[in-house]
Structures are given as structure tokens and as C-alpha cells.
Structure 1
């Protein structure tokens, strides 16, 4: 298995990505996981290609496509001018003709330049054609705030795209999430919006031997990252890390057992997993690094209100979100604008009537 995994990575990544752990798993960064997923799917299917700004000669703005131009050539790894509207239109047209593009947005903030192509052309064509014209395409890239990039480059579009029928919206946390979800997205016959977080590209996780298989596909379902009995914390992408830290703090300081759910898929949302957990813990908070209004947490609250889970709640659901302001540029203010483990812990204590 290890030798076959080496074969799909560019040589420049071999040294850092294939150190075996004692469990038989592999240590891999999120960046390497995404790279290997695309390489394997391009090996598997000649119709899969990558298109975007600086994805080829520069190896990607965040080096996620490193080595793929050398391996697959200019026909399948395509650099474009700085025109999201143009490159996305080309990719959607290619998908409508049966190819399977992977569109890299340097930032999902820039996808606003191509919103018509994503929402009107890609998402709705299958339905409007009566099921006769599919559009198999993946839109991927960093989403949400980074560090010091200002208000126009710091938005989380999970709820934006999650509200559109016809799109699937995924947001991975770990390397195994990233690898399995991206492979599943590329093979999915529907348009998929794949939202990464640039602050975790370099984070290294164990990837199981099962997930290294070339045909391993991660289901579009939630994953329980930490089992608990007292309160449910639902989150996605980088905030999973903060929620796990908060769960550890709650356990050590207060003896509170928190269940942390990693959504992984924003649409379809695994509401059943949330309901099952709430029935066990009777308390719920949601955590996201975005504006409070009309967000993923708001949708979860509505789903809980409209299902049998509401009858199991012993306290109102608490949403933990970013501040309701354009993201500040100043580092000190930016730090105050988004959740951290202390804020998450405080929200849990409030729901549990501990303060």
C-alpha cells in the first residue's frame, strides 16, 4: 500500500508525507492529502483536469497542485489569466460536454466574480434539463478568514453556497477528510463546492491505511471526533480543532463530557447525526467562524426546532460565531472577531447553566 501511495505523489513530496506511524497509518499534511487525491483521480480518469490561476507553473498559490503539471502536462493542468468569470465559464462548459474539471479558486472570495457560472449554470442545469444534462465539476480552494488579509478576503461562504439546490458543499478538517472527500467530490456526478481552510494546509494528521486506498471515498456524513454525554458541539473545518481543545478543557476543569461533531458536509447536512447526539446529551451549541446572521448554525437550530430533537433539549441552543462586522485587518481586533477554545467553553457552560 505504501509503495502504491508513493507513486501518485510528486517526488518533491515523498520525504514529508510517507512517515509511518506505529499504528500503520501515514503522517500527511492537508496539502499533501489534497494533492494525492487529485493525482489519483487524474490517473484514474483522463477526463479529470485542473484549471485555475497559477495552478501549473507556480504549483498553486498554496502549493496544493505541486508537481501535477510535470506529471500530467499542460493539457490537464491549465494556467489561466486572472479572470474567475472566464475560467469558470470555460470549466462549466467543459463539464457540460462530459469532462470533469477541478476549478481552483485562489480564494473563495474571488468566486464572487464567477457566482453566475457556479449558481446558475452549474447548479441548476441538471434540474432545468429534466435530468438530461449533468454538470460534473468541483470548485475548490481556501475559504474563510486567514490572517491579516482584510475584510474582502475573510468571508466564509459555506452558508451562501449551502443554500443553493443542486450544489453539494463540503468542508474538510483533517487530512483523511480532505483526501477522502475530495476523491468523492471528483467522482460525484453533481457540481461540488469544496471549501478548504488555508490555515490548516500545513497541519499534519494520521491517515489510516484504509483511507490510502485509491478507491477510498469519504461519505458525505458527519463524524464524531470526540464522544461525550453532556453536551453536543457541532462544527466544521478548522473550528473542529478549537472545539476538541474546548472539550478537553471542559473535561479537565469541570468534569463535563462534550461530544464534538465534525460536519464535513454542509450540504447535504447530516441532520440525523446531530439529532442522535442531542437525544443523548440534551444540550447543543454550534461553532463557526463566520457572520452570525443566516449561517450554518442558524440552519442547524431550525432543523432541531423542526424535528423530534427539540423535545430532548434541556436548554436553548447556543450559536458561537464570528463577530457581526467586516473582518478587521488589525491582528488584535481580528483575534477578537472569531471563536477560540475559551469562547467555546464559555458557551458550553452557559448552556449547561454553569455560570
Structure 2
């Protein structure tokens, strides 16, 4: 991709780094979505940088650190061209089924050192609290994160899956550059409070799973047969049984708009997310994940699509009709803490 077709840049929060209007989620390069072709994943990373994608997103929980290690050579080769984001807070152990949440001071200190080591860097550009443990005061968690900024180990702070009230509380301790939560045509619960708070504070919004973990692409007629045996989406409520069949029917307007525009359903779904920036008055940088260069190119083309008012109206009802929660255990999301 040449310079003329590179995506535009935006500021990630007040005083934050300039990043491409679309980032790249790297979770699936190491875990969750079946086998990975590492060579193709590395080509995807190189193509992303060439296209102006500078926000590269990982977490210490992805592959229990393997994703950070996988990214290290790429980071070393392009350190001055990317904004490196990673996260702490989801605890993994030798028990493959264990998912804990840790936000306490000692854990944060231990987590950042591990991420710095695995990524092979001296400083993390954007450090997120991956999930919030309500038992730990935000002042403690964000306070120690602020100490990491003062010590030069972290440049900017982010939060993931918090409510609007929690975002305001955290921001009072230290400026927050970005809030990362699920936001898509299928998932709009963040609009209850988090989006408004982010707009008010000047915090950028980084939607993860903007394609509904791939469901919005229309690629999955039956998760039981279309997904690998170890693909974690087989356990996601929206991908199973009657829920999946009901949700597939909701894609009709997405597919029809795509056909009329000569686009793909994925591009229409991503364009809708990108357009939330104008709708809500805040910076929005979605991070669709992919391991394939041709999917990256498809996703990036969505940044050039502006949906009409009539098209937006057709897409508006979808989220309210989705069957099934977005996780088997919604305690890991901000929804359960909304007032």
C-alpha cells in the first residue's frame, strides 16, 4: 500500500500519541481462534505498518504471554513507527480453565515487568487495566499505574470494560488516554454510560471485537461445523444453537447494504463502528483482529466508507435483537456494574 492510500491518523486521547484510525488486535495470532499460520501473521503485521496502522494491541493473558513474545521481533524492527499497547489484569494459571481478575498493587508491579521483558522494550506506550476487580479500589490500581508513568515504564494509561462512573473516578487519579471495550452492531451496552463519559473527558474509545468476533462478516452459518474444535467461539452464547440461527438472520440489512455498495459485510460493520466518532463526538479507533494480509486490506478499506442516514437507520435496530450474551460469564464485563 502506497503513501497515498495510507489511513489517516488521529490523536489517542488528550495529549496522546497519533495513531492510525484503525488499529490491529493481535490476540488471535497466538490463541483462541484455532491454528495460526505464523508466517502469514507476520506478513499481516508488516502490511499493517506499511498501511499506517500504528496501534498494535496485545495483552499478557493472550497465550499466557506467548503473544507478547511473538510480537517482540516485530516490535524491535518497527519500534519508532508503532504505538504498542498491552494489558494486565486477567490472571492465567496452569489450569487452562482458570480466569481470574487481579488489580492489586503487587500484581500490577509484577505484570508490567513481565510484559516489558517479553516484549523486549523499556517502555510500554499504552498500558491497559484489562478487567476491573471491584474489590480493589480504583485509586489503588490507577495509582500504581500512574507510578509506572512517573518511572518511565509506561507512557499512557488505558482501561478496559469499565462504566462511565468508573472512568471518571479513574481519570481523577490520572489522565486516561483510551477506553477499550466491545462495541459493534451486535454489542452497544457501552453507550449506556461509558461512551458519554469518554466523550466528556476527551478519552479515545478503542472498540475490540468490532466485527462481533467474526459473526458480522457472515462467515459462520453453524459454529459447530464452521469453527475448529479448539475455537473458543464454540462456547460463546451468540455462536451456538438457536442463538446463532437467530443472529444470522439479523445480518440481512448488513449484507444488503454491502451488496448495493460493492463492499463486504465486514466493511459495512466496521464503517458503522468508525462512524460512531461523528455520532458521539469522540475519537474512535477500532482494533479488528486478523492473521491474514487480505483480511487486513479488506478491513482498512472500511475507513473510507461513510454510511448514509438511511443506511444507519436500517442498521440501528440490530443490537436490541441479538440473542445471547457476549460472554458465557458476563461478570467479566462492565455491564454487571452499570447502575
TM superposition score normalised by structure 2: 0.35
Higher CA-based Rg: 1
TM superposition score normalised by structure 1: 0.34
For CA contacts below 8 A with separation 6 or more, give which structure has more relative contact order.
Answer: 2
